Structure 1
Amino acid sequence: MKGLFITFEGPDGAGKSTQVQKLSEYLTREEIPFIHTREPGGTEISDQIRSLILDPAHKEMVDETEVLLYAASRSQHVKEKIIPALDKGYIVLCDRFVDASIAYQGVGLGLDVETIKVINEFATGGLSPDRSYMIDLPVSVGKERMTARNQLDRIEQKGTDYHETVRQAFLELYEQNNDRITLVNGEKNVEEIFHDIIKDFTTLWDNYCRNN
């Protein structure tokens, strides 16, 4: 039986990585087979592409190159890691997926969103998450968290207007796909956010187990 593919999305600084880790710990305790991965990255080739995309020194990178590098990283990731895990019946927890490319490279960079979708349809073979947790919070709060955390990567260094546009793009994606995407208030504390996620996840998991 095919496993469950679950992604985490949202503006930079929203706390996605923390929530992926907390859900990983929950699945470990419950002895539910899973893998935890991220984008861009997840495989040796994909991680090398990640270093090209996010390096602050690559300021000359044109928008189209950014789109194609993300898609190339994703294609390798999907075929080498995600699909094999799903075929084994595992849950796959992934920090970002195609929604991020639509928000960051499509809407954020002012590129044609339909073109972004077509490129990523090819890159993923049409793979789509079973559930996406979109953690939302104001850009100003995210910026404060990122600045306090460590050095910002090339995408995180972009201006406030860009990140505001990306946030609105995520919210629009939620409105268009609220059967798949669960919106989570990222201004709550870590435990409250996880409570909201695990409440939805346990229902999702129960339905999955009944039907498989």
Structure 2
Amino acid sequence: MTARGQFITIEGTEGVGKSTQLGNASDTLRQLGVSHIVTREPGGTPMAESIRKLLLAPREEPVNEITELLLMFAARAQHLHGRILPALESGQWVLCDRFTDATFAYQGGGRGVPRERIAVLENLVQGEFRPDHVILLDAPVETGMTRARHRGDLDRFEQEAVPFFQRIRETYLARAKKAPGRYHIIQAGAPLEQVSGEVRGLIATLVAGSGAGSPPVSVR
């Protein structure tokens, strides 16, 4: 019987380097001989990617926070059942750029949607399924927003004001504090080489603890 893969998510506010560290984590798993897929939320399947475009596109029409919440979970349901769970059941690991922690942070902390409403949809879509590990890239909001602005055009979320992202950061940190064994906070404001080294070390530790992969390979 094939052992179930591990589900690892990478979270954080805008501009903390999630895409860079997602690639770094993937390279590390590859070096360690761990079969895996890399995906993102919202998105990950053709239908979920279409919903992503709806969610991120700047628009003049105000988007109701419940509309936004429902679209997030609609995309998640398609992604989870169409791609994530099949990969895990086949023994592959899954690296995902954001998951439900982002919903509690952005729609909950940022938009002010009550946590209980989000939890209802979380249980409807996911049941008891949760990430095995969450890598939280944390940096001061001003640092992240400066980086995000340098990337070019901002999407609908990136155009929000600093207090919105401060609430998001606080929500992430509060969730991590409640489950320190599952959340791994990495200071993303540090030099890139240092951040990347910490991520590589963490991934190697998770692989060693799971018994997956090929014989040890240096990833430092």
Cα-to-partner distance string for 1:67-103 (whole Å, 9 max, x where unaligned): 0000000010000000000001111000000100001
Separation (CA, whole Å) in 2 of partners of 1:32 and 1:207 = 13
Q: Give the TM-score normalised by structure 1.
A: 0.95
Alignment: residue pair count: 210
Q: How does 1:1-212 map to 2 (within 5 A)?
A: 1-57=3-59, 59-209=61-211
CA distance in 2 between partners of 1:199 and 1:26 (Å): 9
Structure 1 pair 202/153, CA: closer, same or farther in 2 (3 Å)?
same
In structure 2, runs of 5+ residues without a counterpart are 213-220
Judge conservation of contact 1:6–1:130 (CA < 8 Å) in 2.
yes
Paired amino acid for 1:5: F
CA distance in 1, matches of 2:56, 2:204: 35
Partners of 2:169 and 2:71 lie apart in 1 by 22
- Give a deviation string over 1:99-152, Cα, whole Å, max 9, x none: 000010012111111210221221223321111100000111111101110111
Identity across the alignment (%): 37
Other structure's SS at 1:21 match: helix
Pick which of 188-197 and 42-51 moved more.
Answer: 188-197
* 54 and 75 in structure 1: CA distance in 2 versus 1, 3 angstrom threshold: same
Q: Which amino acid aligns with 1:32?
A: V
User: What is the Cα deviation at residue 59 of structure 1?
Assistant: 3.9
Rounded Cα–Cα distance in structure 2 between residues aligned with 1:181 and 1:58: 37
TM-score (norm 2): 0.92
Cα drift, residue 58 of structure 1: 5.5
Structure 1: where are the runs of 5+ without partners?
none
| Aligned residues: CA RMSD | 1.2
Residues in 2 aligned to 1:29 and 1:2: alpha-carbon distance in whole angstroms: 20
